[in-house]
Structure 1
Amino acid sequence: MTGNTQKFDQMVALPAVLEGTVTTESIDLNGHMNIRHYLEYGAVGADSICRGIGMDETYRSRRRMGVFAAEHHLCYHRELREGEKFSVHVRFLERTDKALHAVSMLLDRTNERLACTLEIVMVHVGMDSRRATPLPADIAASLDREIARSANLDWPAPLCGAMGMRS
């Protein structure tokens, strides 16, 4: 087994937050999935895990807080072509009292390889003030559990190296 295959096996062992098949409608003029779908699926993956820790519609409407994307870095490792199956897996990496850093990994399930990563820095905001605000204790604790789970993995997340939390 090669290092790339082993890394795929490690990534695919994380829970899939989204699964699908590349459709004809998502193919661009170059014969592979269009850029907007890589971004969309990575963002949907990050949103799904945020919802899983309690930052959902109810959180926004009742607590009047949410997260805004502050920075993205999209990196293509391999193209996805029509008919290929994919899945999205997310790791929370670190946080401050007002921001979080995550990576969505889009895996090519057909060819068993990493297709794309979407690294995201999100800022926690008050929906009325539209300004950064500290994470509530319950959400911070949930994030800390996810970050600890990620830190306990025996493989590094595929990161660009240019993003992260500011001190």
Structure 2
Amino acid sequence: MGRWPTYDEVGALPCGDRMVVPPEYGDENGHLNVRHYLGILDDAEWVVFEQVGLGSDLAQRGIGGVFALEQHLTYRREVAVGDEVSVGVRLLGRTGRMIHLMSYLANHTHGEVSAAMEALNCYVDLGTRRLTTIPQEQADGLDRVIAEAAALPWQPMLSGTITPR
């Protein structure tokens, strides 16, 4: 049975850059607007994809790219304009063509985990625009990061709605 990670546990995950939530990301309540949660969480995934060679280089060369298929967002604590945040990413598993992961929004201003996004991504041949097998070198990199995450002493709480096919 999984659980929500602690602030320190999220801090130990591979993560994106810290940022201060700017006023233009706010809503009428002074909160981080819902549409910007997705962007912040998604941007951090790309940090991990770059580390394993699935980032912009392959896409810019027209070889292949990672496409989003499904996301499940959970909001747990308020994030306000001016709060300092970052995202920890935990790769959960993969198939030959799919990548399953969790991204956690850490609020450094309040020392808490504010939101999570479970996501399913796929690898696409940019020539055919069809799903294809993740290249072996990048698959090996994903497997290394997945194994590191699997060795952590906590298991993530999953939505139950996302299953790599």
**1:118 partner SS:** strand
Gaps of 5+ in 2: none
What pairs up with 1:74-113 in 2 under 5 angstroms? 74-113=73-112
Question: Counterpart in 2 of 1:36?
Answer: 35
TM-score (norm 2): 0.92
Give yes or no for contact 1:20–1:85 (8 Å, CA) kept in 2.
yes
AA of the residue aligned to 1:49: V
Question: Counterpart in 1 of 2:63?
Answer: 64
Q: Which runs of 4+ in 1 moved over 3 A?
A: none
Asked if 1:137 corresponds to 2:136, the answer is yes
1:4-41 CA-partner distances (Å, limit 9, x unpaired): 8x821111122331211122221101221101111000
> CA–CA distance in 1 between the matches of 2:59 and 2:19?
28
Q: Which has the higher contact order (CA 8 A, sep 6+)?
A: 2
AA of the residue aligned to 1:52: Q
**1:135 partner SS:** coil
The alignment yields a C-alpha RMSD, in angstroms, of 1.7
Give yes or no for contact 1:18–1:89 (8 Å, CA) kept in 2.
no
Change (3 A) 1:26 1:61: closer
**2:61 partner SS:** helix
Give yes or no for contact 1:117–1:158 (8 Å, CA) kept in 2.
no
Gaps of 5+ in 1: none
Paired positions, count: 163
Question: Counterpart in 2 of 1:119?
Answer: 118
AA of the residue aligned to 2:150: A
> CA–CA distance in 2 between the matches of 1:13 and 1:42?
16
**1:18 partner SS:** coil
